[in-house]
Amino acid sequence: MILFTIGVVGVLIRRNAIIVFMCIELMLNSVNLLLVAFSKMHALSPVAKASPTFASDAQVFVFFIMVVAAAEVTVGLALIVMLYRNTHSVDVNFLNRLKY
C-alpha cells in the first residue's frame, strides 16, 4: 500500500515523464506484491480448499501483469523518446496542447 501510494503521489507531482513512468511501474509492482502476499495468506482458508486453482490464481495474475507492464514499458518509452526528439523535453506539464 505504501509503495502504491508513493507511486500515485509520484505520478501526480513529478513533471519528468520518465519519473512519472517509473512511478506507474511502481504502482503496478505494488499491486503484484499485494497479489502474491494475499495469495499466500489465503491459501489455507476453507474457500481456497474448495477450488483447486484458487491458490495459484493470484500468482498467475502477477505474470499477466508483468507481461502487460513489459509491453507498456516498450510502448511508453518509445513514446517518451519520440516526445524528446520533437520537443527536446520530457516535462509533462509542457505537453498541454491537447485541450479545448
Partner 1 sequence: MSNMKLLILLIPVLPLIGFMITGLGRNVLSKSLSGFIGSVVVLASLVISFMAFLQVRESGSILATYFDFINIHNLHIAFDFFIDPLTSIFLLVITGVGFLIHVYSIGYMHEESSKDFSKYFSFLNLFVFSMLLLVIANNFAVMYIGWEGVGLCSYLLIGYWFKNPEYTSAGKKAFVMNRIGDFGFLLAVFWVISRLGTTSFSEVFTAESLAKLSQSDITGITLLLFLGATAKSAQLPLYTWLPDAMAGPTPVSALIHAATMVTAGVYLIARSNVWYTMAPFTQGVIAVVSIATMLLAASIALKQNDIKKVLAYSTVSQLGYMFLALSVGAYTAAVFHVMTHAFFKALLFLGAGSVIHAMGGEQDMQGMGGLKSRLKITHITMLIACLAIAGIPPLSGFFSKDEILSASFMKSPMLWGLGVFGALLTAFYMFRLYAMTFLGKFRGSSEQEANLHESPLSMTLPLLVLAGLSIVGGFIGIPEAIMSGAHQLGDFLAPVFAPSAKLMGPHTVSHNTEYILMAVSAIVAIAAMIVAWNKFSKYTIGNEKDSAFGTVLRNKWYVDEFYEKIIVQPLKSISRFFNNTIDIKGIDGVVNGVGSVVQYASRQLRYLQSGQIGGYVLLMVLGFIALLIIQLFL
Residues 5-34 contacting partner 1, CB under 8 A: 8, 11-13, 15
User: Does the footprint of partner 1 cover residue 97 (CB under 8 A)?
Assistant: yes
CB-nearer residue toward partner 1: 53 or 93: 93
Q: Is 95 helix (H, G, I), strand (E, B) or coil?
A: coil
C-alpha cell of residue 9: 503521489
CB-nearer residue toward partner 1: 88 or 97: 97
CA distances (Å), 51 to each of 18, 48, 62, 63, 89, in order?
Answer: 42, 5, 19, 20, 52
Residues that bind partner 1 (CB under 8 A): 8, 11-13, 15, 92-93, 95-100
